[in-house]
Amino acid sequence: MTPALQRRRRPPARQRGLGIVELMVGVALGLLVVVGVSMVFVSSRQASRSTDSLGGMQETLRTSFELMARDLREAGGNPCDGALQVANVLNNAQGATPAWSVNWNQRLLGYDGGVAFPGAAFGAGTGQRVDGTDAVMVKFIADLADLTVTAHDATTALITVNNDPHRVRAGDLLMICDYRQAALLQASAVAPTTISHATSAAVDGNCSRGLGIPTLCTPVGNAFAFNPGAKVGRLVAVGWYVGNNGRPETGGRSLYRVTRTGVEEVAEGIQNLQMQYLPAGATDYVDATAVTDWSAIVGMRVALTLQSADNTVATSPGGRLQRPLAFTLSLRNRMP
């Protein structure tokens, strides 16, 4: 047999399969790749969730700052002169304990963490104030598009104004002022160009139609007529505080704004509010309990702490992100 024929008849080489060791090594390597890819995916998703949560928190902080600072900067402002004497004929402004929302003698008042604020009691209920957080109350007179007096009949308690319509609604609390004095009153009735300030037994009603100084709570009272050109504005009384929102699953606290008509939730997630105040001529901010003359406060320092609603975006206890925001502001109506 020739060598060529022998080569053609040689049996084929035996094929070998994968051994158990090689198979296990391959499976292990595959698992390592899958675990690595999964970790990258989970980390990317977590980073995305944290970024989204942080962006939402920053937007909440900016909104809270803008709304709160807008009110605080206006503390004590009115269309005329902040030093004017004011006749306050509102029923709930009389007596030794006038309502916080109409007491013009307190145009700015701060409350440290343990001090009760009449606009919102401490408690665990929805809308109630969180113990240990500060609160603040301010009052000012909002402009009504250059609304002015054209005539005032003190006998009939009827004020004629320049605008038609004038945007004043029955029940609104108003300030009328000129260079001589100011008066706080309720608009008992309105018509297209007139505002009445008749007496009323309502809580926010007028104890007298007389708007002169001193205030006399009799039907006629101390008669006073404002001259043409006197300014008309709406009383704004507002308090800011941190309260319980009834949603523990998202952190349980929010920033609240309270007025004489009720409480409104402004921003979810605000966990803490702390404030200090700058007296005129001082260089250091002080706590509310150290303020001896609130009429001398010209600046404020406000610190907010925000916590994310999502509890899976941080490694800290609770799994929630927290971010602080501190700002200072000047009370423009208190500046010399």
pLDDT tens string 281-302: 999 999 999 999 999 999 999 9
187 within domain boundaries: yes
Give the confidence band of 29 by pLDDT, cuts at 50, 70, 90. confident
Q: 267 is written with which tokens?
A: 């921003």
Q: Is 24 part of any domain? A: no
Comparison of pLDDT for 48 and 312, the residue scoring more: 312
| Residue 286: per-residue pLDDT | 97
| Count of domains forming the chain | 1
Angle at 239 between CA 189 and CA 237, to 5 degrees: 25
* 27: enclosing H helix or E strand: helix 20-73
Q: Look over the chain and give the mean of its residue pLDDT values, rounded to a whole number.
A: 87
Which residues are within 8 A (CB) of 177 and not within 5 positions of it... i.e. 6 or more apart? 78, 79, 80, 81, 84, 183, 226, 230, 231, 233
Tell me, what's the pLDDT at 320?
A: 76
**225 and 154 in contact (C-beta within 8 Å)?**
yes
| Gap between the Cα atoms of 291 and 115, Å rounded | 13
**Is pLDDT larger for residue 41 or for residue 194?**
194
Q: pTM of the predicted model, to two decimals?
A: 0.82
pLDDT of 8 strictly over 60: no
> Greater confidence, 49 or 132?
132
**What H or E segment, with its residue span, contains residue 22?**
helix 20-73
Any domain includes 28: no
Q: What integer pLDDT is reported at residue 64 of this predicted model?
A: 83
Ramachandran category for residue 85: left, alpha or beta (phi over 0 → left; psi -120 to 50 → alpha): beta
Per-residue pLDDT at 159 exceeds 90: yes
Q: What pLDDT does residue 238 have?
A: 96
Residue 20 lies in a domain: no
pLDDT value for 308:
81
Residue range of the domain that includes 160: 53-334
| Mean pLDDT, rounded, for 15-41 | 68
Query: Count of alpha carbons within 13 Å of 249, Cβ hemisphere only?
Result: 0
188 neighbors 180 (Cβ within 8 angstroms): no
Q: Three-state SS for 61? A: helix
Residues 10-15, mean pLDDT to the nearest whole number:
57
Structure tokens at 88: 């306050």
Q: How many residues does the chain have?
A: 336
Mapped onto helix, strand or coil, the DSSP state of residue 37 is helix
Binned at pLDDT 50, 70 and 90, residue 62 comes out as confident
How far is Cα 102 from Cα 206, in angstroms, rounded to an integer? Answer: 12
C-beta of residue 110 within 8 angstroms of C-beta of residue 277: yes
Pairing of strands 86-88, 182-186: parallel
pLDDT at 13 over 80: no
Reply yes or no on whether the pLDDT at 163 is more than 90: no
Per the model's pLDDT, the better-predicted residue between 237 and 11 turns out to be: 237
**Residue 5 domain-assigned (yes or no):** no
> Per the domain annotation, does 37 fall within a domain?
no
Query: Would you give the end-to-end CA distance of the chain in angstroms?
Result: 124
* Domain membership flag for residue 40: no
- Residue 201 included in any domain: yes
